[in-house]
A and B are shown apart, each in its own frame.
Chain A
Amino acid sequence: QKEVEQNSGPLSVPEGAIASLNCTYSDRGSQSFFWYRQYSGKSPELIMSIYSNGDKEDGRFTAQLNKASQYVSLLIRDSQPSDSATYLCAVKSAGNQFYFGTGTSLTVIP
């Protein structure tokens, strides 16, 4: 399986702080990158996708991609308790398959 690695966590941040989640991948042919959020007992849901190097912002979320370093990150600004969940990094390989990282558990402390 193509490797997608995330910082293991768990990560705890106070409410209002910035949460930073990181991901590296091994397949240099990958072109599409995603961040999914998974609440306990639920299925993963897409929160961000990024395809080009640089930053992509969507509300309080910013995804960053550096293909040369094979690195993807997600920043969550003004973290809220409702952001507490497991965040999964996903990479779409050159063979059009989706591979997921091990997930980082985030807890936002009120």
Chain B
Amino acid sequence: DTAVSQTPKYLVTQMGNDKSIKCEQNLGHDTMYWYKQDSKKFLKIMFSYNNKELIINETVPNRFSPKSPDKAHLNLHINSLELGDSAVYFCASTTPGSGGNTIYFGEGSWLTVV
């Protein structure tokens, strides 16, 4: 069973369109994330949710809106897509705590805006 799954894996769309990426984790984790990885491999945190509550919202355009219907799901909706939004978007999850613990990634969603 896939621990963190996200769909779609590939998405090609035109500028100005609105699209969504869905993410689900079956690990029982409390915290979920969206990361954006650009062509230079930099993994930038976008959003972090803990038990459906927004914890962190890095400097991300308002066109990006996350939604967490429950702690196992974190979806990402993008309005008015721009060329610069082309990237790989990774969903991830972990369990918060003071101890060290790892973060598990989904397989990524390759978004191409043309």
Query: B16: shortest Cβ distance to chain A, in Å?
Result: 28
- Provide 22 A-B residue pairs closer than 8 Å at the C-beta atoms, listed in order of the A residue: A1-B45, A32-B100, A32-B101, A42-B107, A42-B108, A44-B90, A45-B105, A46-B102, A49-B102, A86-B41, A92-B100, A92-B101, A95-B56, A97-B48, A97-B55, A97-B56, A98-B92, A98-B103, A99-B45, A100-B43, A100-B45, A105-B41
Per-residue B-contact encoding for A81-110, CB less than 8 Å = 1, 0 else: 000001010101001111110110100000
Please report B residues at the A interface, Cβ cutoff 8 Å: 31, 33, 35, 40-45, 48, 55-56, 58, 90, 92, 94, 96-103, 105-108
Main secondary structure of the interface of A (DSSP, over half): strand
Instruction: Please provide the chain A residues from 35 to 62 with a CB less than 8 Å away from any CB of chain B in the complex.
Output: 38, 42-46, 49, 51
Query: B50: shortest Cβ distance to chain A, in Å?
Result: 8
Determine the interface band of chain A, counting residues with CB < 8 A from chain B. Answer: 20 to 34
Known: A43-B90, A88-B43. 8 other contacts (CB 8 A): A31-B98, A32-B100, A42-B107, A96-B97, A97-B45, A97-B48, A97-B56, A98-B94
